[in-house]
Amino acid sequence: MPAFSYFIVMQFRQYIALVALFLSQLVYAQVKLPVPLNIAAAYNQQTRSPDGSPGKNYWQNTADYTIKVDFDPSTRLLKGTMAIRYINNSPDTLHEVWFKLYPNLYKKDSPRETKVSASDFTDGVAIQQFVMNNKALDVSRLNIDGTNMIVPAEILSRQTTHFQIAWSYTLNKGSHVRTGQVDTGAFFIAYFFPRIAVYDDIDGWNENPYLGSAEFYNDFCSFNVEISVPKDYAVWATGDLDNAADVLQPGIYKRVQQAGQSDSVVNVITEADLQQSAVTTGASPWKFTASNVTDFAFAISNHYVWKAGSLVVDKQSGRRTRVDVVFNPRHNDYNEVVNYARKTVEVMSYTFPKWPFPYPHETIFDGLDQMEYPMMVNDNPLADKEATITLTDHEIFHTMFPFYMGVNETKYGWMDEGWATIGEWLISPCIDPAIVDDYGVKPYEKNAGSERDLPIMTLTTQQKDPAFYLNSYPKPAFGYLYVKDMLGDELFTKALHYYIRQWNGKHPMPYDFFNCMNTGAGQNMNWFWKRWFFDNGFPDLAIRNVKKAGSQYTVIIESVGGKPVPIDVTVYFSDQTVQKIHRSIACWKAGNKQVTIEFSSDKKVDKVVLGSTYVPDVNKRDNVYKVRL
């Protein structure tokens, strides 16, 4: 072929390649996410906006709870009375009100997905009185179905309704599912009161029963709670202890005040204090208040020690958060938890998500679970230091999701557990640089691409393990991490903060998150959201070839499974040195199946290895290429 003709052909081929690349990028820039009809209706009603922000017609309901409870540790009987002021901000007339009776998880005839021993079966919640707008209802005729209670009503839009309820139930001794007796002198008590379910613009009433696996979805409410316990018990809870000076001995109260202003750890309750019965005054009840929170939990003990310290979480205002760690002195691992917890709050405030810790205190209670509550954590003791650190920071990170951001955990477990998982991955090495936390990586590699592997967007209520676990924890965390890597820390933080500012104190759904991140970053990332959260596929990269031309090396990487994951290549040279090469998920944006990586070196290459900690791969047999050039 004449040189001129060859030049024309090559130019034409390059032109065709550029056109194809442009068209593929145009197609992926216009990717639209599939939207179910009930979600689309919210956009039509303008309660949600395409840019991710709440729509001009957005609303959510709320309530004020005034609660008085008496708990007897010897019998585990909890008795309570409650007044609720419920505000219907929706445009709808509510013809019924759904209540959640979470303790009915232990009722002997209730459906459940969590194992409960027959010895822990109870008669459930007993309603002694139910009054609505000064009209008493016949409690024997209340419609109770497992953990749901449906009450006929007629509540007009913008109307306020008042309820008075008296109830009781026996706390579980064993079968500890997020609540129950820890030992004979310690109890963690959560989900203990009848509460009004969420009524929102997507589904109306949250009719999903609590079965023990999928977690919770609650409105932002205010709580005024009085807790009566025997005189030798101390109480820790969501919210502020308003009468601390009345219920705590003067010396203990002084130490609490000191801890709230000190960067050092204060021993608030010591073993000596316990031996001398010098902790509480015997006054009761303990009075707590909390505003704009999604739930209220409390814990009590007559033999736990208490370490506390605080730190500035907002340098502009000087606001501090006190971190309390309350534990059995026989559990030595808990002595360091206060330091791990303080460091977690610090990293959250200044590094990731780089948002001032929103609450005045956080209590980590030595319990029998691994569970989060507003301003409270119920963590079992662990012998391993790394496990203790990762558990501590994971549960504290839930402060942001779902408590500051009121996500629907019941339907979308990934909107909170995924964030706690990436939080754990990123914060744990800040506490101990030796930690490489690969939580969830191997389980995903084991199951990815199998018939057990479902899209993340599958409703949590429709899943069983292992899909339930994978789609709640590691898979969404990988998605968040990969976007963070692609955007860079600064732009990712900007986008995440846009999401937080729009939706803290509200109820974001998945599309609000996707759209907020797009808007905040100034990029349409639907190509990734769709492929990672909606589509099937699996993470599997392969080295297809390594070519050498002089000192120039070309590595061909193929995406076998179709899931867009970062590329991490390590080049091993004959002189024992290495070179690392990284490409973010952006290299797969055009829908291409292969990526070419080039590098130059005058040194002899022994092998090229593909992969890293946070890039799962179902088949690693094709991730090593031994160079024979």
The count of other CB atoms within 10 Å of the CB of residue 64 is 16
pLDDT at 304 over 50: yes
DSSP 240-256: EETTHHHHB-HHHHHHH
The count of other CB atoms within 10 Å of the CB of residue 521 is 19
Residues 601, 548: Cα–Cα separation, whole Å: 10
Residues 511, 411: Cα–Cα separation, whole Å: 13
State the pLDDT confidence band at 627, using cuts at 50, 70 and 90. Answer: confident
- Tens of pLDDT, residue by residue over 166-221, are 999 999 999 999 999 999 999 999 999 999 999 999 999 999 999 999 999 999 99
pLDDT at 7 over 60: no
**What confidence score (pLDDT) does residue 9 get?**
41
Question: What is the percent of the chain where pLDDT is above 70?
Answer: 95
Residues 237, 234: Cα–Cα separation, whole Å: 10
Q: Which two tokens stand for residue 24?
A: 């593929």
**What confidence score (pLDDT) does residue 10 get?**
44
The count of other CB atoms within 10 Å of the CB of residue 242 is 14
State the pLDDT confidence band at 270, using cuts at 50, 70 and 90. Answer: very high
Q: Report phi then psi at 463, rounded to 5.
A: -120, 150
Residues 444, 611: Cα–Cα separation, whole Å: 15
Contact predicate 557/610, CB 8 Å: yes
- Tens of pLDDT, residue by residue over 141-165, are 999 999 999 999 999 999 999 999 9
Q: Is the dihedral of CA 210, 216, 221, 223 positive or negative?
A: positive
**What confidence score (pLDDT) does residue 629 get?**
60
Contact predicate 603/552, CB 8 Å: no
Instruction: For residue 421, give the amino acid letter.
Output: T
The count of other CB atoms within 10 Å of the CB of residue 210 is 26
The residues that bridge with 145 in the sheet, in sequence order, are: 148
**What confidence score (pLDDT) does residue 581 get?**
98
The beta-strand segments (E) located in 374-486 are 376-379
The residue whose two tokens read 């292969």 is 594
CA distances from 57 to 46, 48, 53, 157, 205 (A): 5, 8, 11, 14, 18
The count of other CB atoms within 10 Å of the CB of residue 169 is 24
Q: Report phi then psi at 166, rounded to 5.
A: -120, 135
**What confidence score (pLDDT) does residue 11 get?**
53
Mutual angle of helices 414-431 and 385-397, in 10-degree steps: 130
In the chain the first and final C-alpha atoms are separated, in Å, by 31
Residues 203, 195: Cα–Cα separation, whole Å: 18
Residues 537, 79: Cα–Cα separation, whole Å: 51
The pLDDT of 454-465, averaged and rounded, is 97
**What confidence score (pLDDT) does residue 13 get?**
47
Q: What is the mean pLDDT of the chain?
A: 95
The pLDDT of 429-443, averaged and rounded, is 97
pLDDT at 19 over 70: no
**What confidence score (pLDDT) does residue 30 get?**
81
Shortest CA distance to 494 belongs to which of 479, 504, 484, 503? Answer: 484
Task: Classify residue 618 by its DSSP letter.
Answer: S
Residues 123, 113: Cα–Cα separation, whole Å: 18
